[in-house]
Structures are given as structure tokens and as C-alpha cells.
Amino acid sequence: MALIDDLRSLNGIRVHEASFTEVGGAAYFTARRGLDTHVGCAGDGGLAGERVGQAAGRPVVLGPLGHGNATVIRDRLPWTAPRLLGLATSIGLGDRLGLATPGHIRAVRGTGVACVLAQQSIREMTRTQRTPEEIIDCATWGALQEGFRDGFGADADHLQRPEDVDATLAAGFTFFTIDPGAHVNDDADGMSLEALGKAFETLDFAALDSSADDLKARYLDRRFALSGGGEVAIGAADLLRAAVKYGGAVAHTAAMYRHLSGKADRQVEVEVSVDETESPTSPGEHYFFAAELKRLGVHWVSMAPRFVGRFEKGVDYIGSLDEFRQSLAQHVAVMRTLGPYKISIHSGSDKFSVYPIVADLTSGLMHLKTAGTSYLEALRAVAAIDPGLFRQILDFARGRYGTDRATYHVSAEVSRVPAASDVADNDLAALLDDFHAREVLHVTFGSVLTADGGSRFRDPLLGALRRDEEAHYAALERHIGRHLAGMARH
Ligand code: ZN
């Protein structure tokens, strides 16, 4: 009998068929035993685990989805390790529960869009009590389970400090999102010319490897022709505002970049993001920021300006689409002039009305970042699998929203989210289509997942998703699939 047939007949074990991979005299696979997924091998596969039988005359070992085994799998099956994505049209799919990757793969496979399957910020890792190693391991296991050989990236998102770079570099991340947002001076937009002039003189020019005179010589009263015909004209007020607003961010980004380049023992790629600031990035400021980063030797594959309008978590774009299109066209012209690099859309989930605009104007030079929307799809699946658990999470989230919303840009009103007792079982899942319920459930994920050390909601939530993993994957495939459909160019 063939090896795969013998594996199928092992007692109490159900092999994920798509995972079965033979290489170098060993066969690797993932399999369910009870509610848990394990990694297995037949033959000399190098995995730690227990011997559970024989297949085609070879010993079969089944082991835990731990870091040691993940390292073995990445070594033997290189396509389960993260790689560089370059300028390919791409989507970042954050997975806060560690179970979403198979659903993400099913959505993205065959679309031609490259994917990041491991993506989390240090802030989110803290909120979900996960380590950088775990984030990558979960992507590895998902890629093995689905037999996904197209490759994927690993994004260490929103890095703010050098030690964040160290931790994620050591864990094997390939894509580093430098976030100098804390060094963007949002007050610059409202400052008088005089105040800007004073603030300009106090900039840390040494950190910029420049001087006030140098900066003026480079930009003041100059017009920069843009690819495609437009131009950026920088007058005195424009220069002062751009330098005061983004000067510190330029210096911090360059320092973080040098730190990363100095420590990296392999090729890595970089994104620069200033999306989490109060005021939008004007095209002129984008030009100044990117030109200064280039001057300081920073290389990046994507950049996330702060766009006009509101990119609230888990819901569609709020604002004028015409204004967004006009502004994006200018950002794209700057990108084509100083790049090319990808325009990165953060808080990018569920912005269905803007995807066609971005795909069209950038000609596919776009990266879309999503994360919380997959958590919401997990909740949608749980609403059907275990309505009682979903009800408890809903009421807990309603109680937490007032506190947890503080660090997010959201406008939902908790009074418009019904108490669990007022909703029939059959209507629970539909809450995931409601603006207010989505935001309330979205921003409370950290509190939900860490309540009572995870025993209150996280463990039962993971248990429910393991009980019916296909329902979870189907919800993800459908919802992320809608995003990818919007990104397709027509
Ligand atoms: Zn972001």
C-alpha cells in the first residue's frame, strides 16, 4: 500500500491531505488527533514526538506544533519559511489567534497577490501575549497544512524601538515596518509661520546629517517635477511645516534602518509607516519625507502615508471618495518619482470602496494590511459553533469598549450594540455585519483574549474553532476573498 493510504488508516489520526509532502526520504504532514493538530513524519524526518505506528514500512512520528519542530520543518521544506516579496502586489493577513493561516491561504491562493501570513506589531503581541517566534511558527504550520508553496512574507509591524527590531529579526521576520509616528509633530499643521520658524531652528540637524541652510538649499522655493506630469512646489511655509512635522521622523527612521541593516545577517525588506498620526500627510510632505530618507540611504519597498478620510478598524472608508482619489493620485505621482515602492494601506481591512481606486491608480504597486478583520471572522464562526460563548464575549466587549477604544480611531456607539440576551441565536452572526458591533468587538480583542490569563475566553474560543476548523476557514476565505476581489485590476 502507498504511504498515504497507510497514514490514512492510522488509528485515531486524520491527516490533512493537502499537507502531505515527500522530500529526501521522509514524508511530512499535519494531522488531527482529537481536537489538536500535530505535525507528523514518516521516515527519518527529524521531528520530536511520539512513535504512533508504521506507514509503508517506515516509522511514523507525531509531534507537537512547537518551535523546535517548526524550525525542522522550515529547514526541510523551505517554502514554509518566510521570504521577501519585493514590489509584488501584496496583502498582509494578521492572525491574532494563530489558527487563521489555512483560511488566509485558501483566500489568496490562485489570485496572483503575494501574501504576508505572519504579521504582528509588538503592541499586539503584548496584547495577545504571543512571542515573535509563535507568530512565524503559526504561519509555517498553516503553509504546511495547506501545502502552500507560493511563499509568504513575515511582517514585524509598527516597530518603534531598536529592541523591537532585535526581537523580531532574531525570530526570522523578513519584512520590517518602521513606524516613526511618535516622532511626527502633529502640531505643525496648526502652527503659525513664526512658530514654525522657531521650531525649525531647534530641529536635530545632526541626526539628519544636515543643517538648516542645507535643507533650505535643497527644497526652498523649488519645484520638483513629478512622474506623470504634475509637480510639487515647496515654498517657505511648506518647507518649515514639512521639516518640523516630519524631521524627527526622518531621523528616527534612518536610525532604525541603520540598526536593522547593521544587525541583519540576511536580506530583509522595509516598510515605512506614518499612518497612525493625527493629520494627513500632504503630497508635498510625502515628497520631503521620502526624498530625505533616500538622501540618508534608507531603502524601502512600501510606504504608508496618513491618508485623508478615516480608516477606522474593521469598517469601510469614511470620507469623500473623490477627495481620496485626488489625494492618492498625487501620492502615487510622488511614489513613482522617488520610487517605485508600494503604497501601503494600513487599517486596510473592509475598505471595500477604496480597493479598486488604489489598485487602479498604483497599477498594483500596493500593499494592503489587515488583521482584526480575521478575528471578527473567527467570532462569526463561533457565533454558529458556540452561540453561548459568543454571547459572553459580546457582553464583555460591550463593557470594555469605553476603555479599550482609547488607543483606536473608532466612532461606534456601544448603545447601538444590543445586549446578547436581546438577540436570537440565528441573528448573532449578523452582528458581524453591523458597523457598531464590528468596531466594539474589534478594539476589545486584547481584553477578550487575555481575560483571566486566557482561560475565560481565549481557550474556549480556540477550542470552538478547533472543533469546526472548516467553518472558520470558510468564513476567512469568503471575507478575505472579498478584499482580494476588490484589489484585482480591471
Ligand atoms: Zn498601521
CATH number at residue 158: 3.20.20.70
Q: How many CB atoms lie within 10 A of CB 8?
A: 16
Domain shared by 51 and 172, yes or no: no
Peptide bond into 283 cis (omega under 30): no
Q: Could you tell me if residue 210 is inside a domain? A: no
pLDDT for residue 409: 87
pLDDT for residue 129: 86
Cα 272 to averaged position of ligand 1 atoms, centre (Å): 10
Which residues are found with C-beta within 5 Å of the ion, ligand 1? 275, 346
Q: Could you tell me if residue 134 is inside a domain? A: yes
pLDDT for residue 449: 95
**Residues designated as active site:** 157, 271
CA distances from 260 to 140, 161, 165, 367, 444 (A): 24, 11, 7, 21, 32
Cα 372 to averaged position of ligand 1 atoms, centre (Å): 12
Helix or strand (DSSP H, E) at 304: strand 302-304
Domain shared by 6 and 93, yes or no: no
Backbone torsions φ then ψ of 107, nearest 5 degrees:
-70, -40
Question: How many domains would you assign to the chain?
Answer: 3
HSE on the CB side for 333, CA within 13 Å? 19
Domain shared by 265 and 290, yes or no: yes
Q: Give the residues of the chain that fall short of pLDDT 70.
A: 1, 490
pLDDT for residue 490: 64
Of 125, 177, 428, the closest CA to residue 301 belongs to: 177
Domain shared by 356 and 263, yes or no: yes
Residue 210 · residue 254 · CB < 8 Å: no
Cα 23 to averaged position of ligand 1 atoms, centre (Å): 39
Domain shared by 346 and 414, yes or no: no
What is the Cα–Cα distance from 405 to 156, expressed in whole angstroms?
A: 23
Cα 6 to averaged position of ligand 1 atoms, centre (Å): 47
Domain shared by 232 and 299, yes or no: yes
pLDDT for residue 277: 85
Residue 475 DSSP label: H
Backbone torsions φ then ψ of 239, nearest 5 degrees:
-65, -45
What is the Cα–Cα distance from 425 to 394, expressed in whole angstroms?
A: 13
Domain shared by 322 and 256, yes or no: yes
- The residue among 318, 338, 370 that closes a domain is 370
What is the Cα–Cα distance from 270 to 178, expressed in whole angstroms?
A: 7
CA distances from 191 to 180, 184, 238 (A): 21, 14, 12
Q: How many CB atoms lie within 10 A of CB 276?
A: 18
Domain shared by 348 and 460, yes or no: no
Domain shared by 118 and 44, yes or no: no
Domain shared by 377 and 293, yes or no: no
Cα 178 to averaged position of ligand 1 atoms, centre (Å): 10
Domain shared by 151 and 241, yes or no: yes
Domain that holds residue 29: 2-76
- pTM, 2 dp: 0.96
Q: Could you tell me if residue 219 is inside a domain? A: no
